[in-house]
Amino acid sequence: MNAKYTIDGFIHIHTTGDISMNELHDRIGGRFMAMSTDEIREWQSQALARSVAQAAKSPFYSERFKNMGLDPSDIKSWEDITKLPLTSKEDLRLSYPAQMLTVDQEQVIRMHTSSGTTGKPTAIFHTREDIDNWAELMARSLYQAGARSNDVFQNMTGYGMFTGGLGLHYGAERLGMWVIPAGAGNTARHIMLIRDFHVTVIHATPSYAMHVAERMLQEGDDPKSLGIKMAVLGAEPYTEEMRQKLQDIYGFKVFNSYGLSEMNGPGVAFECENRNGMHLWEDSYLAEIINPDTLQPAGEGEVGELVLTTLRRTAMPIIRYRTRDLTRIIADKCSCGCNHRRLARMVGRSDDMLIVRGVNVFPSQIEEVLMRHKWLGGNYLINLSTAAALDQMTVKVEIAKDAFDGSLDTLRSKRGELQKELKEQIGFTAQIELVESGSLPASEGKAKRVIDERG
């Protein structure tokens, strides 16, 4: 053990070096990380059979399987996946509170609910082994991205029902990092803690990381001076351009992290050091990409809806869950050596697609254009309304701090250029409203980017 930091007389004894390589290997599920493609498929076949047999113990799936005449013992290989029924968000709602639970109540040690704010949430249950497996997935994700036990980790997302809190927390502790469970909000305290405790890794939503940076810039402070090495950002869609902007402002490396409450939460897919797609942990999740209209498998490498089946969850296995997230599978070998295939950055959710004057637009297409410009800040809002029976889109975007040189003419001309560029991207003209830095609503968690006021 070595004393690492002395802060106001408080000595933190850090345990770097205490963990043997073997122990680390176990903690992060090294045997799964190192699987070859054949081993992954072999494991998936066995794990799928186990998952389906386990699911059949729940009132929900036993009835569903019975209705379709499916005998769980018919599922012998991962290729049998298409014989199984899809599960929708609505199914989860109907099974509320516990129709998908497969174990006795005394075996459950935790539940989380999804982040929906209206109506009944969807509840997800975990046994001790489930929580352990999830922590392992998170620990290996962080390890693979380059985090180590001598890093100081600040978790800047909400705790409680939201899985980004406890999910990352357990994983970071399991890896042996020094964890600061700072939680959401209270930006000034976040900045103070990062500085005082020499935080090297942060976890936040991209919109909150941007908010913290802009708040510092407004106060004449430099986010680079925080010395953060890496940021794990996820829980909401963001573009490559947003990643770049954040990296430029902070001087850290951003790693994309994907997950959803129904599949535990974070730890489903995570970027490695190459940061070119997120390795999906295929020992724990069986992934399919389907065409959301026909529900048939999408062509190889094609964008479609991600459908996931849990392979290592006992309390509540979920079979073929329709995530609504649009992405594609990158099957090429990654030079990091990990054989778990990658998911490309999410395009958006099928239910987030906007139809404006008959044209399909994803908010991410608009973000892509906005984030290319250094003179614009990182916060924006898309407003949809109706005028003279026609859809109108107004994009409100903050100007970067100090980017306004006092000339309104220059600003007007920049706005005109931006409008043109946006039209090229989305195919119609949107109004652009430039607003002062810090004036749009800031998010502490998932940003709300669209306000649709059309009838």
Q: Alpha-carbon dihedral of residues 430, 427, 305, 37, nearest 10 degrees?
A: -120
Out of 236, 241, 368, 421, name the contact with ligand DLL by CB under 6 A: 236
State how far the alpha carbon of 185 is from the alpha carbons of 23, 155, 307, 314, in Å: 35, 11, 33, 34
Evaluate the omega torsion of the peptide bond into residue 97 and state whether it is cis, within 30 degrees of 0.
Answer: yes
Minimum Å gap between C-beta 281 and ligand DLL is 13
Asked whether 422 and 430 are in contact (CB, 8 A), the reply is yes
Length of the chain: 455
Q: With binding defined as CB under 6 A, does residue 241 bind ligand DLL? A: no
Identify the residue among 44, 58, 261, 284 touching ligand DLL (CB under 6 A): 261
Of the ranges 46-54, 97-105, 231-239, 430-438, which one interacts with ligand DLL (CB under 6 A)? 231-239
User: What is the smallest separation between the CB atom of 315 and ligand DLL, expressed in angstroms?
Assistant: 17
Q: Which part of the chain contacts ligand DLL (CB under 6 A), choosing from 124-132, 189-197, 234-242, 403-411?
A: 234-242
Site for ligand DLL in 404-443 (CB under 6 A): none
Which lies closer to ligand DLL via its Cβ, residue 92 or residue 434? Answer: 92
Q: Which stretch binds ligand DLL (CB under 6 A): 125-133, 211-219, 260-268, 376-384?
A: 260-268
Q: Which of 171, 234, 277, 377 binds ligand DLL (CB under 6 A)?
A: 234
Contacts with ligand DLL by CB under 6 A: the residue count is 20
Q: Specify burial of residue 230 (Cβ count, 10 A radius: 0-12, 13-18, 19+).
A: buried
The amino acid occupying position 412 is R
Nearer to ligand DLL, 52 or 306 (CB): 306
Choices 46-54, 241-249, 257-265, 335-343 (CB under 6 A): range interacting with ligand DLL? 257-265
Q: Write out the binding residues for ligand DLL, residues 150-179 only, by CB under 6 A.
A: 163-164
What are 63's two structure tokens? 């009835």
Q: Can you tell me which of 29, 121, 259, 304 binds ligand DLL, judged by CB under 6 A?
A: 259
Nearest to ligand DLL of 72, 234 (CB atom): 234
Task: Give which of 165, 177, 110 is closest to 139, Cα–Cα.
Answer: 177
CA neighbours closer than 13 Å in the CB half-sphere of residue 345:
19
Taking the mean position of all CA atoms in its chain, how far away is CA 91? 23
Spatial separation of the C-alpha atoms in residues 254 and 275, rounded to whole Å: 8
Pairing of strands 230-234, 253-260: parallel
Residue 265 interacting with ligand DLL (CB under 6 A): yes
Cβ of residue 167: shortest distance to ligand DLL, in angstroms? 6
Q: Which helix (H) or strand (E) holds 31?
A: helix 30-33
Is residue 284 at the binding interface for ligand DLL, with CB under 6 A as the rule?
no
Q: Choose the stretch contacting ligand DLL; rule: CB under 6 A; options: 10-18, 20-28, 258-266, 418-426.
A: 258-266
The yes or no reply on residue 256 touching ligand DLL (CB under 6 A) is: yes
Phi/psi at 417 (nearest 5 deg)? Answer: -60, -45
Rounded CA-CA distance 313/91 in Å is 18
Query: Measured on CA atoms in the order 87, 32, 344, 263, is the torsion positive or negative?
Result: positive
Closer CB to ligand DLL, 58 or 205, in the complex: 205
Q: Which amino acid is at 299?
A: G
- Say how far apart CA 25 and CA 421 lie, in whole Å: 49
Site for ligand DLL in 76-135 (CB under 6 A): 114-115
Q: Can you tell me which of 54, 284, 314, 323 binds ligand DLL, judged by CB under 6 A?
A: 323
Helix (H) and strand (E) counts in the chain? 12, 23
What is the maximum alpha-carbon separation in the chain? 73
Indicate the helix (H) or strand (E) that contains 215: helix 206-218
Kindly report whether the peptide bond that precedes residue 441 is cis, defined as omega within 30 degrees of 0.
no
Q: Which residues contact 162 (CB under 8 A, 6 or more apart)?
A: 112, 115, 445
Question: Using CB under 6 A, which of 325, 367, 398, 444 touches ligand DLL?
Answer: 325
Shortest distance, CB of residue 247 to ligand DLL, whole angstroms? 16
Site residues for ligand DLL, 336-365, by CB under 6 A, read: 346, 349
Does 235 bind ligand DLL (CB under 6 A)? Our answer is yes
Between 267 and 317, whose beta carbon lies closer to ligand DLL? 267
How does DSSP classify residue 87? Answer: B
Nearest distance, CB of residue 254 and ligand DLL, angstroms: 11
For the window 186-225, what string marks contact with ligand DLL as x by the rule CB under 6 A? ----------------------------------------
CB of 113 to ligand DLL, least distance (A): 9
For binding to ligand DLL (CB under 6 A), which residues are involved? 114-115, 163-164, 234-237, 256-261, 265-266, 323, 325, 346, 349
